[in-house]
Structure 1
């Protein structure tokens, strides 16, 4: 793709990694084996970013489902993958998220940084078609000064209709950070709280239970289940159960 964006643009000075030695890579084999094991247990595509060597340490084989490229080829491409497979408008968005994300990450105490995950949606092109995917990134190994050396990422089909939806949070936190692509800044927001019934309704929905099945399972009326769903949609500001499930998964509510 003809674009002015270059691979080096993705490696922000906010996360300049300089204190890694070759001896530190002795853990590489163990990390790759762990990623392969994770790949076998999930439908998601998995890859590992190496911010020191500015490339990919590992790419799962199932990534061909999304873009049609072979895993080894994409691994060799490294960040060229984004330039070749992501529309330019979304590429510019990814650069903005990348730079703003590292600024926020560096404001977090070093002792807490590995607990955070950033999630966002963007398009991947496959031939003349494009698919909206959800991308999550979380630190795997930090340098002594708290920079991200290795990060593990997952890619899956997005439930939303538009790119963006950028959030950063840690499990169990009462708040999360949401990035606005309009005001170009992070905003801290209070996390929603689900009742026990709402949590049960969501969890059972992931298993494909019907409204009547859910009502029987939680010993409530169908009207109560409907009321729970309405409350969930209102709290999450979503329109259907698929969007609610995506919200819950991204915010680690179930």
Structure 2
């Protein structure tokens, strides 16, 4: 089992953050709260200077039976209380490796990267596989991550892990291999225009017949493209394909 200190490696060199800077950050909370009201996804802000959560949305996915204020009070203890022991170790490792990766980035690019990973949370003995996407929204004066926003959604996978760092606007990404404890560059997935059309129309509720009519193709052609899509994305159905494509910004 991890301990709280295992999650605090990111704060060692952050310069002091003034109360004035915290006052300026309050506008971010208002914006994030408005966004949270429009989505089922849970949102929260990690404060790496104070080692706690600056904001937690009321969305139920993350709360595990707690209120948002209770989770803010728990801070990183939330992970220890609601994440399986073996996956806590994974979170500690990706935390260390993620910040090591980040420290090597050019300063001017540091706000352009995000990290994504899957792990289980336990609520009332029920395990749910969720996806975390974390990206910095404020840096300290010494250009280290001060505040980061995390978007929590249901995972498109069936197992924990799938640790990836992506730069905005790039198809390629860096994948962390837990067995080798290192980052490996991946060229990424590129969808054809036809595959994008089928996913987009499916997301809008079109049936296969509807899609065939809209694209002026035979229904067997739609079935062929869907099979290829499932293979390419390594998913089992169109719902998982839409979730995967949305999560990884393939559309």
Q: How would you bin the TM-score normalised by the shorter chain?
A: over 0.9
CA distance in 1, matches of 2:46, 2:71: 12
1:78 correspondence with 2:75: yes
Q: Once the 2 structures are TM-superposed, how far is the Cα of residue 244 of structure 1 from its aligned partner?
A: 2.3
CA RMSD of superposed structures (Å): 1.8
Is 1:28 the counterpart of 2:25 in the alignment? yes
Query: Is residue 2:244 matched to residue 1:242?
Result: no
2:18 aligned with 1:37: no
Per the alignment, do residues 64 and 180 of structure 1 end up closer, same or farther by CA in structure 2, a change over 3 Å counting?
closer
Maintained 8 Å contact 2:129/2:155: yes
Counterpart Cα distance in 1 of 2:167 and 2:241: 19
Give the whole-Å Cα distance in 1 for the aligned partners of 2:202 and 2:95.
34
- Please give the secondary structure, in 1, of the residue aligned with 2:249: coil
Bigger mean CA offset, 149-158 vs 215-224:
215-224
Deviation at 1:14, TM superposition (A): 7.6
Superposed, which structure 2 residues align to 1:36-115 within 5 Å?
36-63=33-60, 66-115=63-112
The Cα of 1:131 is off from its aligned counterpart by 0.9
May I ask how many residue pairs the two structures share in their alignment?
A: 251
- TM-superposition CA deviations, 1:196-224 (whole Å, max 9, x none): 11111111122232111111222222122
The Cα shift of 1:172 comes to: 2.2
Alignment match, 1:178: 175
The TM-score normalised by the length of structure 2 is 0.93
Q: Residue deviations 1:142-172, cap 9 Å, x none?
A: 1233211000011122121111111111232
Quickly say closer, same or farther: Cα 1:70–1:86, change in 2 above 3 A.
same
| Partner Cα distance (1:170, 1:220) in 2 | 36
SS at 2:59's partner residue?
A: helix
| Structure 2 residue ranges without an equivalent (≥5) | none
Q: Deviations over 1:104-136 (max 9, x none)?
A: 122222211211111111111112211111111
Query: 2:221 & 2:10 partners in 1: Cα distance?
Result: 52
Distance 1:60 1:133, change over 3 A: same
Equivalent residue of 1:232, what SS? helix
Consecutive unaligned residues of structure 1, counting only runs of 5 or more, are none
Q: For the residues of structure 2 that align with 1:8 and 1:217, how far apart are their CA atoms?
A: 56
Distance 2:216 2:12 in 1: 51
Measured in 2, the distance between the counterparts of 1:242 and 1:126 equals 24
Contact 1:15–1:147 (Cα < 8 Å) also in 2: no
Q: Does structure 1 retain, via aligned residues, the 8 Å contact 2:63–2:71?
A: no
User: Counterparts of 1:118 and 1:65 in 2: how far apart (Å)?
Assistant: 18
- Written as runs of structure 1 = structure 2, the 5 A alignment for 1:97-246 is 97-246=94-243
Per the alignment, in what secondary structure is the counterpart of residue 137 of structure 1?
A: strand
